[in-house]
Amino acid sequence: MASIQAIEQTSVHQIQSGQVIVDLNSVVKELVENSLDAGSTSIEVRFRNHGLDAIEVIDNGSGIAPEDFESVALKHHTSKLRSYDDLENLDTFGFRGEALASLCALSQLYIITARETDRPRGTRLEFEVSGKLKSTSTIAAQRGTKVVVEKIFHNLPVRKKELEKNIKREYGKVLTLLQAYACISTGVRFTVSNQMPKGSKSSAFSTNGSAATKDNIIKVFGPKSLRDLVALDLKFDMQPTTSTLAAHDGGASRGVKVEGHISKPVFGEGRSAPDRQMFYVNSRPCGLPQVSKAFNEVYKTFNISQSPFVFANLIMDTNSYDVNVSPDKRTILLHDQGVLLESLKEALIELFESQDQTVPQTKS
């Protein structure tokens, strides 16, 4: 027998799934994004034992149609993208059709779903490791979808041990991620709680579906958080470099807006909040280390002792960045990042210079 053989399909699926769902964060992120994509106005995330026993995401979104039950958890099956060309005009978080399939391979997953027209009866769906539909049963349900993930990483012993060992830290990271989604998602009520095996249910945070990100920030970080913030409302044009002229839009300058809130650079006042920096590109939460660095650098020239609270949404043409870089889509490639950073820094300096720099006399 030849020594080079094809890997059996189920094993391929399990290997690849481990790259889509890498940690607790990716589980929660994928499920919450699905709920947002389904047009939900209420999303409840329930952890049991910080997620080690179960993660439940319950939404009041569209629900799943019975004709889609067979394919909902199959790999590369999605309602959001039909061809590669659609990627440019995508307005959903998901598009790979990998999350549910991967979760079937790495956990025990079931779904309860009902559309408006199905209520008060819904369907409970169970799946095989491959994502194939295993069974359905009828069950009372509200409109929307509940996805339950149990025994995460039960078949990846090393990762499971690692998760158990670091569960407090991992849970902390998940809360930070959920806060980022909750703050930007206007009109969506977020409720996040954790239930320990023998303890009572404790609420982590919640928002109330306000139409203003400001209200969400107050709900998540407390009323004091807004006291020292100024509105970010920056606009600048990115002049494309010659090398990108041909590649993109034939030379038109592309406008970028940065909306949100940032700490006032009042010397000796305010809070140091390096862990409270939330960045978004067209409302998609993402890690933007270089942009964060630019914010911190400029802020430091006004206030050497603290890092700012930053909530910044970069609004830009979908042609000027690429989200299809990593499976979790947290990494976003910004074209002309250097130009953007320079313009951003200039605009920030201008904003801070226009602020009143005096130290407040009273502390409340």
Using CB under 5 A as the criterion, which residues of the chain lie in contact with Mg ion when the complex forms? 34, 94, 99
- Rounded to 5 degrees, what are φ and ψ at 33? -65, -40
Please give the C-alpha separations between residue 359 and each of 265, 349, 363, in angstroms, as whole numbers: 10, 19, 10
CA quadruple 97, 101, 106, 111: dihedral sign: positive
Size of the site for ligand ADP (CB under 6 A): 21
In the bound complex, what is the minimum distance in angstroms from residue 326's beta carbon to ligand ADP? 14
In the bound complex, what is the minimum distance in angstroms from residue 60's beta carbon to Mg ion? 17
In the bound complex, what is the minimum distance in angstroms from residue 204's beta carbon to ligand ADP? 20
Residue 56 lies near ligand ADP (rule: CB under 6 A): no
Report the distance separating Cα 303 and Cα 318, nearest Å.
Answer: 34
Q: Which of 20, 32, 72, 288 is in the footprint of ligand ADP by CB under 6 A?
A: 72
DSSP 49: G
Q: Which residues contact 156 (CB under 8 A, 6 or more apart)?
A: 18, 106
Which residue's C-beta sits nearest to ligand ADP?
Answer: 94
- Rounded to 5 degrees, what are φ and ψ at 232? -95, 125
195 binds, among Mg ion, ligand ADP, none (CB under 5 to 8 A by kind): none
Which amino acid, one-letter code, is at 84? Y
CB nearer to ligand ADP: give 170 or 328.
328
Stretch 228-267 residues interacting with ligand ADP (CB under 6 A): none
CB nearer to ligand ADP: give 258 or 332.
332
CB nearer to ligand ADP: give 100 or 310.
100
Residue 321 lies near ligand ADP (rule: CB under 6 A): no
Which amino acid, one-letter code, is at 142? Q
Evaluate whether 195 touches 55 at the Cβ level (below 8 Å).
no
Report the distance separating Cα 60 and Cα 142, nearest Å.
Answer: 8
Kindly give the residue spans of alpha helices, DSSP state H, lying in the chain.
9-20, 24-37, 99-106, 157-165, 167-184, 213-221, 242-247, 289-300, 337-353
Residue 149 lies near ligand ADP (rule: CB under 6 A): no
Kindly give the residue spans of alpha helices, DSSP state H, lying in 46-166.
99-106, 157-165
Residue 100 lies near ligand ADP (rule: CB under 6 A): yes
Residue 323 lies near ligand ADP (rule: CB under 6 A): no
In the bound complex, what is the minimum distance in angstroms from residue 43's beta carbon to ligand ADP? 9
Other CB atoms within 10 Å distance of the CB of residue 40: 25
Q: Which residues contact 171 (CB under 8 A, 6 or more apart)?
A: 24, 47, 50, 51, 194
Residue 61 lies near ligand ADP (rule: CB under 6 A): yes
Stretch 107-146 residues interacting with ligand ADP (CB under 6 A): 145
In the bound complex, what is the minimum distance in angstroms from residue 33's beta carbon to ligand ADP? 7
In the bound complex, what is the minimum distance in angstroms from residue 213's beta carbon to ligand ADP? 23
In the bound complex, what is the minimum distance in angstroms from residue 11's beta carbon to Mg ion? 23
98, 139, 142: which is closest to 119 by C-alpha? Answer: 142
Which amino acid, one-letter code, is at 134? K
Residue 327 lies near ligand ADP (rule: CB under 6 A): no
194, 193, 173, 177: which is closest to 185 by C-alpha? Answer: 177
CB nearer to ligand ADP: give 166 or 283.
283
CB nearer to Mg ion: give 99 or 217.
99
In the bound complex, what is the minimum distance in angstroms from residue 97's beta carbon to ligand ADP? 4
Stretch 25-44 residues interacting with ligand ADP (CB under 6 A): 30, 34-35, 38
- Residue 40's H or E segment, with its range, is none
Contact footprint for ligand ADP (CB under 6 A): 30, 34-35, 38, 59, 61-62, 64, 72, 78-80, 94-101, 145
